Structure 1
């Protein structure tokens, strides 16, 4: 990948940068679970760092690093995910026209007992991302809702 394509891919991640509040809705509790999410540039702006904290013991805190995928058109990324349970995962990530997707359908550092995908959509002013996580237990043939999560920007006006 040439440097101009890489630079453009990194620039496309800029809408994430900042602090967000998160509200997730899980089946195991009627109350929403709240947390925070911060995106910052790391290692000279070559990686986007994602740090999340959650106010519920059943939901893990996490750190992720997003990098530009070496192959593709500059809209493809890789998210390396680590959480407070000791889980390590690798997600393929895209960002196209305000839609953020994460997909894990291959074994990586953690056994693949089920596939996961996230789809989130930025609202028109970029201050809210409404999304949902889904699971598949049949290799991605069918997907079932896991939980909904909404992020609201805290810092930019």
Structure 2
């Protein structure tokens, strides 16, 4: 996994996606990078853990997210035809969304996180790439 801002790498890390024993949740764990860009050192979220699940009644996906800063969030999520989206509101005046494309046989995912004060005007936060070795 690599995160970048304006084409500059903020850090590379190992991200693991594994099925929970129940097969009802996809678990994501992202290790801290070996090296991290100076502008990310104070606000680094690593390590990151998340659980993705599906409500079999409504067909709605959700991601439960937690990171090293003590941030815990719930994102609504959709995944269809190789297009992955997540969105949520972490509090008044703080909206987030993620949009990614899953390429080929799932070995490459390229996406971008964006932020908004009002949920209408969006600005880039950072890009992320997941690539299977």
TM bracket, shorter-chain basis: 0.7 to 0.9
Offset of residue 67 of structure 1: 1.2
**How far, CA to CA, are the matches of 2:100 and 2:77 in structure 1?**
11
SS in 1 for 2:14: strand
Within 5 Å, give how 1:17-56 maps onto structure 2: 22-26=1-5, 30-55=8-33, 56=36
Provide the TM-score with structure 2 as the length reference: 0.83
1:118 aligned onto 2:98: yes
5+ long unaligned stretches in structure 1: 1-21
Query: What corresponds to 2:114 in structure 1?
Result: 134
Aligned to 1:69: 55
What is the CA–CA distance in structure 2 between the aligned matches of 1:112 and 1:67, rounded to whole Å?
26
Offset at residue 71 of structure 1 (A): 4.9
Q: What's the C-alpha RMSD, in Å, of the aligned pairs?
A: 2.0
Q: What per-residue deviation string (whole Å, max 9, x for no partner) do you get for residues 56-115 of structure 1? A: 33421111111113553x3x311010100001100001101001111013x5xxx34410
More strand by share: 2
State how far apart, in whole Å, the 2-side matches of 1:66 and 1:31 are.
26
Shift in Å at residue 125 of structure 1? 3.0
Larger radius of gyration: 1
Structure 2 match to 1:100: 84
Which one has the bigger helix percentage? 1
Return closer, same or farther for 1:43/1:125 CA change in 2, 3 Å cut-off. closer
Q: What TM-score does the superposition give when structure 1 sets the normalisation length?
A: 0.72
Choose from 87, 107, 110 the match for 2:71.
87
Q: Distance in 1 between matches of 2:92 and 2:27?
A: 24
Query: Runs ≥4 in structure 1, deviation > 6 angstroms?
Result: none
SS in 1 for 2:124: strand
